[in-house]
């Protein structure tokens, strides 16, 4: 247990509100983990997978009403609405807490309240933060054991220090004698809340047992709350992968990269290079926390200890290292369950066996059109099992970042790769990141859907102020010459007939190789109105048949298209009003002037 009086008082207060049958302090041991998993198997909420095919791994099906993040029920609760900004759902803290407290009263009757002490980042790192999550879900406990460092060791490090309080309940109390359901949650979407209180560093979640709604260390703490703490304290909490790249000469650098969803972030983090001599190692696939060290170098840790990845389309072809990471000691949610006790999802690399159980507990027969796995089906796997995990991934000091990458899905306009002219220009590049969408495809207005810094769903405060924070990081850097270089990549550029101009996947190492050469100072570049682009001969395309003829189009900067882009950028910037930094307005004006 603990002697931390603030923590003891907090747990006692919430136990009185939620009225659980008992309170259990999680110790993080293997014995405890196995006991909880066994209890869930016995209760019918989990299935133990085939021990020979997938040792010590388990399968869960969620309720069909509880399958993903619920953005419209995710709130940033600040005293002033403008502090939450135009991209977040806002409610005043007092009002939200009053509303939610009514729901919390007695919400854990018939259940156990688990107290989970957890560290985001290596224990003892001065970049790491400690949180404590209260939950009534054993599913959350076993997932948090994979995704964070949790249990007794965290309490030992915490001592009587401060922690980030996180409250979670599935919102489904049990009356005496009432049988539990397989996946308890609030079935009505309006009864779900994922609320953040940045001014007091609190997270309150009610009604959902799924993913980031329930594993509160993930997006809630690691991005929404951490981004506000980083703003106050002068560091960065970012939706970025961290990877190490070593070139054939043995020179190694670390980069951090931000991409919106469906842009190949996890694939890039665990890239298998297509050309010999290069080596890629993964520090993290999703989140980076970064602080300057005493020498002015920006260092990054991965605050997570596991991967919580989207399963469909992950395969030995698209991401072999992810597939090898989840061979054992993993949890699968809303995939298919095969008759021989393994898992299945679309594009896994083999046909779905007859008799597979779908995520909705239906039986699949060959040729039927039932949905076998939910599109957001997930795997939870320890990062330590990744074959290319970086040797320094748990170094408390973090790894030194030499470059930032931004990128989205852009079929035209944006070249394969370009480099910022300076720090503020790089922040401008990050602020306009987006992917092109068609209204027919996802019901949105056709055009560019902006996702600045890939942070749109995960921002804990006003995004205009966030842009200013990035500007300030550069302005106040202890050693400006050591700031990371900033690049934008676009693997998705297409020809006029709709064909991709770049092969992507393992061949992306060819672009990363040029970025590495720029960081080391090995190659020059060509200055254009939007930034520096490579000389064609400096991107290694050996062995790529027909690629040479496509490079002009891939690297083209069309002034007319960029002037059209400027109109869209102006529209995007206008939503932030007075919070939009003057430095980025200046970058916009410089871009426009250079295009004419």
Q: Specify the 3-state DSSP secondary structure of 112.
A: strand
Q: Percent helix, strand, coil in the chain (nearest 5)?
A: 35, 20, 45
* CA-wise closest residue to 132 among 112, 109, 146, 148: 148
Q: Strand pairing of 241-246 and 378-382?
A: unpaired
Query: What is the C-alpha to C-alpha distance for residues 45 and 182, in angstroms, rounded to an integer?
Result: 5
Mutual orientation of helices 226-233 and 463-475 as an angle, nearest 10°? 40
* CA-wise closest residue to 530 among 561, 553, 557, 512: 557
Sequence-distant (6+) residues with CB within 8 A of 347 are 312, 313, 314, 315, 318
Among the residues of 461-506, which ranges form H helices?
463-475
Mutual orientation of helices 423-431 and 582-595 as an angle, nearest 10°? 90
Dihedral angle of Cα 129, 134, 139, 143, to the nearest 10 degrees: 0
What counts of helices (H) and strands (E) characterise the chain?
A: 17, 29
DSSP state of 139: H
Residue indicated by tokens 């209890």: 39
Dihedral angle of Cα 410, 412, 413, 419, to the nearest 10 degrees: 60
CB atoms under 10 Å from CB of 440, counted, come to 8
The residues that bridge with 74 in the sheet, in sequence order, are: 194
263 is catalytic: yes
Residues 127 and 235 sit within 8 Å (Cβ to Cβ): yes
Sequence-distant (6+) residues with CB within 8 A of 351 are none
Q: Which of 263, 282, 352, 386 is catalytic?
A: 263
Q: What residues act catalytically? A: 263
């Amino acid at each position: 247990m603990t002697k931390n009086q603030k923590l003891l008082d907090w747990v006692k207060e919430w136990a009185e509100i939620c009225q659980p049958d008992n309170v259990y302090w999680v110790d993080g041991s293997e014995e405890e983990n196995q006991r909880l998993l066994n209890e869930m198997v016995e209760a019918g909420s989990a299935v133990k997978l085939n021990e020979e095919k997938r040792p010590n791994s388990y399968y869960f099906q969620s309720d069909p009403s509880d399958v993903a993040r619920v953005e419209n029920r995710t709130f940033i609760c600040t005293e002033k609405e403008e502090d939450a900004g135009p991209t977040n759902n806002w409610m005043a803290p007092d009002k939200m807490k009053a509303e939610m407290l009514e729901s919390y009263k007695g919400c854990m009757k018939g259940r156990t309240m688990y107290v989970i002490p957890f560290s985001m980042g290596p224990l003892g790192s001065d970049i790491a933060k400690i949180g404590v999550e209260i939950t009534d879900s054993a599913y959350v406990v076993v997932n948090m054991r994979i995704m964070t460092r949790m249990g007794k060791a965290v309490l030992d490090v915490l001592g009587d220090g401060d922690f980030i309080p996180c409250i979670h309940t599935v919102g489904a109390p049990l009356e005496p004698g009432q049988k539990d359901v397989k996946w308890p949650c609030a079935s009505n979407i309006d009864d779900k809340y994922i609320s953040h209180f940045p001014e007091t560093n609190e997270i309150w979640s009610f009604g959902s047992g799924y993913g980031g709604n329930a594993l509160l260390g993930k997006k809630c703490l690691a991005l929404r709350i951490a981004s506000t703490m980083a703003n106050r304290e002068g560091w960065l909490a970012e939706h970025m992968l961290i990877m190490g790249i070593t070139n054939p000469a043995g020179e190694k650098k670390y980069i951090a990269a931000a991409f919106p969803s469906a842009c190949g972030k996890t694939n890039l983090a665990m890239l298998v290079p297509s050309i010999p001599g290069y080596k890629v190692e993964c520090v993290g696939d999703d989140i980076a926390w970064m602080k300057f060290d005493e020498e002015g170098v920006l260092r990054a840790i991965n605050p997570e200890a596991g991967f919580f990845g989207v399963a469909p389309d992950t395969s030995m072809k698209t991401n072999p290292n992810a597939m090898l990471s989840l061979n054992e000691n993993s949890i699968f949610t809303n995939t298919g369950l095969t008759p021989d006790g393994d898992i299945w999802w679309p594009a896994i690399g083999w046909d779905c066996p007859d008799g597979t159980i779908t995520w909705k507990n239906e039986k699949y027969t060959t040729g039927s059109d039932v949905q076998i796995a939910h599109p957001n089906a997930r795997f939870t796997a320890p990062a330590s099992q990744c074959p290319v995990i970086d040797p320094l991934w748990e170094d408390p000091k973090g790894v030194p970042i030499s470059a930032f990458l931004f990128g989205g899905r852009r079929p035209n306009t944006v070249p394969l790769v370009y480099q910022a002219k300076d720090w503020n220009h790089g922040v401008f590049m990050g602020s306009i990141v987006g992917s092109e969408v068609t209204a027919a495809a996802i019901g949105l207005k056709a055009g560019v859907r902006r996702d600045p810094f890939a942070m749109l769903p995960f921002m804990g405060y006003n995004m205009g102020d966030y842009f200013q924070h990035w500007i300030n990081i550069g302005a106040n850097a202890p050693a400006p010459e050591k700031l990371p270089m900033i690049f934008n990549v676009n693997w998705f550029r297409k020809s006029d007939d709709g064909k991709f101009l770049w092969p992507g996947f393992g061949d992306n190492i060819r672009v990363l190789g040029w970025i590495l050469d720029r960081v080391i100072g090995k190659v020059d570049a060509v200055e254009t109105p939007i930034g520096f682009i490579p000389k064609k001969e400096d991107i290694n395309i050996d062995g790529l048949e027909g690629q040479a003829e496509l490079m002009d189009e891939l690297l083209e900067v069309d002034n007319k298209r960029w002037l059209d882009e400027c109109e869209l950028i102006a529209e995007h910037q206008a939503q932030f009003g007075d919070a939009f930094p003057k430095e980025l307005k200046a970058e916009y004006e410089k871009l426009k002037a250079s295009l004419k």
